[in-house]
Structure 1
Amino acid sequence: MTNLANDGAADSLLETAWAQREETLYTTLFGDLGPGIYPLDLSLFEQMFNCTQVDPRWLHIGVFECPPTPGRPHWVYVSSGLSNPWDDNPDDDEEWTGLGRELLLECPQQSPWALTLVRRFAAYQMLLAAGRFGDQEPLDAWDRMSVGGPIDGQQSALSAIIMVPSEHYPEEYQLVSGKFAFLQIIGLSAAELAHGRAHDFEDLLQMLGERGAAPLVDAARGSIV
């Protein structure tokens, strides 16, 4: 039998956490959140992952395109909804909320490809969490992979990504439903990906930072190795 009182409490927890993240925390961290959220849609799941059946709640997850502010000269693309407490019981004392991560990508200029990429990986995270790829766990820090072509869909030398702890937003942030942290996407060339696998990805990230190739991602840059 459904417990309507508990269902109402769960809905309230979700709505409160959602509002706290977007209306309070994100506006404090990122300022202007742009024209609104760009939600995931069924065509994204169908075209990118050949997935025709999705949880309708996933279609409320999206990405903000945040323009520069007086204190931040670059653009930020950040997901919202991966940390939703979809299945949390309000009576449980959960340490993390939802998947415990939101995705973030920073660019020196407005980059439509970045919006596409973050939406793509937000969808991938939900599919991973739902077990649609077998035993694979959702992406976390230091996971890396090829994206199957230029990161911008055109002629970029970057064709892979690595997920790292955020440099500009390194904290764990607390919502009423639990805490989450940002997982930052850094673009890599195939040669950089191979170099990291052969040596050390933390050293590679330091090299990228020293060359101005991270944490901001410029699809027009060349490979550093």
Structure 2
Amino acid sequence: MKAPETEEDFVQWYEDCWADRDEVEYPKLFGAISEEVFTLEQTDALQAWLESELAQVQELDPNWLPLGVRVAPPSEQYPYWSYVTSGLSNPFTVAPGTELDETASSGIGYEMVIHTAEQAQWPVLRLLDMMAYNLVCLRAFALNHRYPVEGSLTGGETKLNGFIFVRDTSRPAEFTLPSGKVQLLTLVGVTRNEMAFSRSNGMDKLMAKLVDAGTGFITHPEREEVKL
């Protein structure tokens, strides 16, 4: 597998990879998905991380600005809202003419998803902020990671103040683009105590408790902490 060598062909290939993900793979994974994209250009997330002590780049790449978040409303198969990043798997690490290993990842190698029972704005803002963190601070996430946030997850009244990164067993764990493989990381909102429990006892045991409590892979900001 090889990326096109001429600049014109490479740009078309890059755009085709993007379209394949958003227009082919995402509808298969999430059902009908809104055409609207909430982009990094519409927020100050990139600039905020650039000004932080964690920043690993000196200036923002304009190619990051159109990256963003897509929204899938409830469907018969998936009766809840899904918010998914669009762009972290773009092949921005590839140059024209590059030989691509068949097992290689595309871009950072994943996209992130949050599921909620009700439509909300906070998942969009959280995902945009975490995309900016990945791009500016050059820090990637992975399955079984934990990510605490400042304050509450929603910015309002909720006991949830962090995410765990898990595989949603109701859909494929990954998909493949012409530019490589892409993993789907599902983010589930948790409390600090739940996060600590997963660190000591394993992510599977925490997820089992969340499933037993009736929340599973869907983040319910109003829920109580599960019995640990």
The interval holding the TM-score normalised by the smaller chain is 0.7 to 0.9
Given candidates 189, 211, 219, the residue that maps to 1:187 is 189
Partner of 2:9: 9
Partner of 2:129: 120
Task: Tell me if structure 1 keeps the 8 A contact 2:111–2:182.
Answer: yes
1:70 aligned onto 2:70 = no
Partner of 2:175: 173
Given candidates 146, 150, 153, the residue that maps to 1:151 is 153
Task: Tell me if structure 2 keeps the 8 A contact 1:40–1:61.
Answer: yes
Runs of 4+ in 1 over 6 A off after TM superposition: none
Partner of 2:115: 106
Task: Tell me if structure 1 keeps the 8 A contact 2:49–2:136.
Answer: no
Structure 2 unmatched ranges of 5 or more: 53-57
Partners in 2 of 1:60 and 1:122 — Cα distance?
Answer: 12
SS in 2 for 1:207: helix
Partners in 2 of 1:154 and 1:220 — Cα distance?
Answer: 10
Partner of 2:100: 93
Partners in 2 of 1:50 and 1:65 — Cα distance?
Answer: 29
Question: What fraction of aligned residue pairs are identical, expressed as a percent?
Answer: 27
1:43 aligned onto 2:44 = yes
The residue identity in structure 2 corresponding to 1:79 is T
Kindly report the root-mean-square deviation, in angstroms, between the aligned alpha carbons of the 2 structures.
2.0
Q: Deviations over 1:64-102 (max 9, x none)?
A: 111112222100000111100013134412321111100
Partners in 1 of 2:137 and 2:167 — Cα distance?
Answer: 19
1:26, distance to aligned residue in structure 2 (A): 1.2
1:48, distance to aligned residue in structure 2 (A): 5.4
SS in 1 for 2:147: strand
Q: TM-score, normalised by structure 2?
A: 0.86
Q: Bigger CA drift: 211-220 or 119-128?
A: 119-128
1:122, distance to aligned residue in structure 2 (A): 1.5
Q: TM-score, normalised by structure 1?
A: 0.88
Task: Tell me if structure 2 keeps the 8 A contact 1:103–1:182.
Answer: yes
Q: How many residues align?
A: 215
